[in-house]
């Protein structure tokens, strides 16, 4: 997934907060979209929420959030489902794009303005957000759980076109 201009589709999710039904719905949407990788911007809350994400057809990479209780148990659940868990700030390259995944958006606009990343994904606020700052696309996919807004939300980022598509459920 590191080649320039590859047709890589990245599923963006956050704030699942133990809502098993919505996690299953999000997983089904991402599987139908034939994503290449799923990035989770934190707040699973419990290990059983992570286990629900095992239904993804694509690899899962996540970071911790501020509401993740037993990090040891959540980390073990990630290992058990063959996924990877990072801290609250994780940098990578996917499809030739520099990507930053963070949970809380503190400083996100300053980081975006620096132009180091092509894509910044964050969570925490439970509100969808899509902004372009210079060359950087900043996305909050919203809350999968729907606890605050009543609607589950996720996003898909198409690397080649740099397009972001939101899905509600």
CA distance 11 to 128: 14
47-104: pLDDT as tens digits: 999 999 999 999 999 999 999 999 999 999 999 999 999 998 999 999 999 999 999 9
Kindly tell me if the per-residue pLDDT of 2 is higher than 90. Answer: no
Kindly tell me if the per-residue pLDDT of 4 is higher than 70. Answer: no
Task: For residue 132, count CB atoms less than 10 angstroms from its CB and return exposed for 0-12, middle for 13-18, buried for 19 or more.
Answer: exposed
25-39: pLDDT as tens digits: 999 999 999 999 999
Residue 133 C-alpha from the chain's centroid: 19
pLDDT of 60? 98
Q: Could you state, in order of their start, the residue ranges of all structural domains in the chain?
A: 9-168
What global pTM score does this model have? 0.95
CATH class of 9-168: alpha beta
């Amino acid at each position: 997934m590191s080649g320039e201009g590859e047709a890589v589709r990245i599923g963006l999710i956050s704030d699942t907060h133990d809502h098993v039904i919505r996690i299953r719905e999000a997983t089904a949407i991402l599987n139908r979209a034939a994503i290449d990788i799923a990035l989770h911007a934190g707040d699973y809350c419990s290990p059983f929420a992570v286990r629900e994400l095992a239904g993804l057809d694509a690899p899962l990479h996540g970071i911790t959030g501020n509401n993740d209780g037993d990090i040891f148990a959540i980390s073990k659940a990630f290992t058990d489902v063959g996924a990877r868990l990072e801290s609250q700030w994780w940098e990578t390259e996917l499809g030739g794009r520099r990507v930053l995944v963070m949970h809380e958006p503190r400083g996100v606009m300053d980081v975006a303005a620096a132009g180091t990343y092509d894509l910044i994904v964050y969570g925490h606020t439970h509100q969808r957000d899509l902004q372009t700052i210079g060359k950087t696309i900043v996305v909050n996919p919203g809350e999968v759980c729907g606890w605050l807004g009543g609607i589950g939300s996720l996003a898909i980022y198409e690397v080649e076109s740099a397009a972001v598509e939101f899905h509600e459920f």
